[in-house]
Amino acid sequence: MAAIEAGCEGDSAARFGAVAGVTPGQKLTLLLLLAILLLGWWCDTRLILDTMHGLVVMGFVVSACSKLVLAGLGREPTAPPPLRRDLLPTYTVLVPLYREAAVVEQLVAALSALDYPRSRLQAILILEADDDDTLGALAWLRLPPFIEVLVKPPGGPRTKPNALNAALRIARGEFIVVYDAEDIPCPRQLREAAARFATTPELACVQAPLRIGNADAGFLARQFALEYAGQFDAILPGLERLGCTFPLGGTSNHLRASVLRDLGGWDAFNVTEDADLGLRLGGPARRVAMIAAPTREDAPVTFTDWLPQRARWVKGFMQTWGVQMRRPLAGGLCKFLTLQATLGVSIMGAALHAVLMATLLGWLAVDGLVGTFPPSVYADLSVLALGWGMAVLANAIGARKAGLRMSLGDALASLAFWPLQSLAFAVAVRQLIVSPYHWDKTPHAPSVSAPLDAEALDERGRWSVSPAA
What value does the mean pLDDT of the chain take? 86
**CB neighbour class for 466 (10 Å; exposed up to 12, middle 13-18, buried from 19):** exposed
Are the CB atoms for 399 and 282 separated by under 8 Å? no
Instruction: Report the alpha-carbon distance of residue 463 to residue 459 in Å, rounded.
Output: 10
Are the CB atoms for 218 and 301 separated by under 8 Å? yes
Are the CB atoms for 164 and 265 separated by under 8 Å? yes
Question: What pLDDT is recorded for position 164?
Answer: 96
> What tens digit of pLDDT does each residue of 348-368 get?
888 888 877 777 777 777 666
Q: How many helices (H) and strands (E) does the chain have?
A: 16, 11
Instruction: Report the alpha-carbon distance of residue 87 to residue 109 in Å, rounded.
Output: 26
Question: What pLDDT is recorded for position 37?
Answer: 80
Question: What pLDDT is recorded for position 43?
Answer: 84
Are the CB atoms for 256 and 175 separated by under 8 Å? yes
Residue 16 within any structural domain of the chain: no
The half-sphere exposure of 38 on its side-chain side, counting CA atoms within 13 A, is 6
Q: Closest by alpha carbon to 176, among 262, 292, 73? A: 262
Q: Is the pLDDT of residue 140 over 50?
A: yes
Instruction: Report the alpha-carbon distance of residue 279 to residue 95 in Å, rounded.
Output: 22
User: How much of the chain, in percent, has pLDDT values that exceed 70?
Assistant: 89
Looking up residue 119, the CATH number of its domain turns out to be 3.90.550.10
Average pLDDT on 414-423 reads 91
Residue 374 within any structural domain of the chain: yes
Query: What SS3 state is found at 258?
Result: helix
Q: Is the pLDDT of residue 373 over 70?
A: no
The model carries a pTM of 0.89
Q: Closest by alpha carbon to 157, among 316, 46, 31, 288? A: 316
Q: How confident is the model at residue 139 (pLDDT cuts 50, 70, 90)?
A: very high
Q: How confident is the model at residue 462 (pLDDT cuts 50, 70, 90)?
A: low
Q: Closest by alpha carbon to 267, among 21, 6, 3, 5? A: 21
Domain count, the chain: 1
Select, from the ranges 239-248, 387-396, 441-450, the one with the highest average predicted confidence (pLDDT).
239-248
Select, from the ranges 94-98, 335-339, 452-456, the one with the highest average predicted confidence (pLDDT).
94-98
Between 11 and 73, the more confident residue is 73
> What tens digit of pLDDT does each residue of 53-69 get?
777 777 777 777 888 88
Are the CB atoms for 208 and 236 separated by under 8 Å? no
Q: How confident is the model at residue 311 (pLDDT cuts 50, 70, 90)?
A: very high
Residue 467 within any structural domain of the chain: yes
Question: Residue 122 carries which DSSP code?
Answer: E
Average pLDDT on 18-23 reads 81
Select, from the ranges 57-61, 174-178, 349-353, 370-374, the one with the highest average predicted confidence (pLDDT).
174-178
Between 112 and 458, the more confident residue is 112
Say which amino acid occupies 204.
Answer: A
Q: Closest by alpha carbon to 52, among 351, 374, 417? A: 351
| Sheet of 203-207, strands arranged across | 3-5, 147-152, 121-128, 91-96, 175-178, 253-256, 203-207, 287-290
Question: What pLDDT is recorded for position 371?
Answer: 62
Instruction: Report the alpha-carbon distance of residue 469 to residue 467 in Å, rounded.
Output: 6
Question: What pLDDT is recorded for position 426?
Answer: 95
Phi, psi of 3 (to 5 degrees): -120, 140
Average pLDDT on 411-432 reads 93
String of b and e for 7-28 (b: at least 16 CB within 10 Å)? ebebbebbeebbbeeeeeeeee
Question: What pLDDT is recorded for position 58?
Answer: 76
> What tens digit of pLDDT does each residue of 248-303 get?
998 999 999 999 999 999 999 999 999 999 999 977 778 999 999 999 999 999 99
Are the CB atoms for 192 and 291 separated by under 8 Å? yes
Q: DSSP secondary structure string, 81-108? A: PPPPGGGPPPEEEEEE-SS-GGGHHHHH
Residue 378 within any structural domain of the chain: yes
Question: What pLDDT is recorded for position 6?
Answer: 41
Q: Is the pLDDT of residue 5 over 70?
A: no
Question: What pLDDT is recorded for position 7?
Answer: 39
Question: What pLDDT is recorded for position 449?
Answer: 62
Residue 422 within any structural domain of the chain: yes
Q: How confident is the model at residue 118 (pLDDT cuts 50, 70, 90)?
A: very high
Average pLDDT on 238-253 reads 92
Residue 438 within any structural domain of the chain: yes
Residue 102 within any structural domain of the chain: yes
**Which run of H or E residues covers position 185?**
strand 184-185
Residue 34 within any structural domain of the chain: no
Q: Is the pLDDT of residue 345 over 70?
A: yes
Quick one: three-class SS letters along 263-332? CCCCCCCCCCHHHHHHHHCCCCCCEEEECCCCEEECCCCCHHHHHHHHHHHHHHHHHHHHHHCCCCCCCC
Supply the range of the domain harboring residue 128. 1-9+54-469
Q: How confident is the model at residue 153 (pLDDT cuts 50, 70, 90)?
A: confident
Q: Is the pLDDT of residue 187 over 90?
A: yes
Question: What pLDDT is recorded for position 374?
Answer: 64
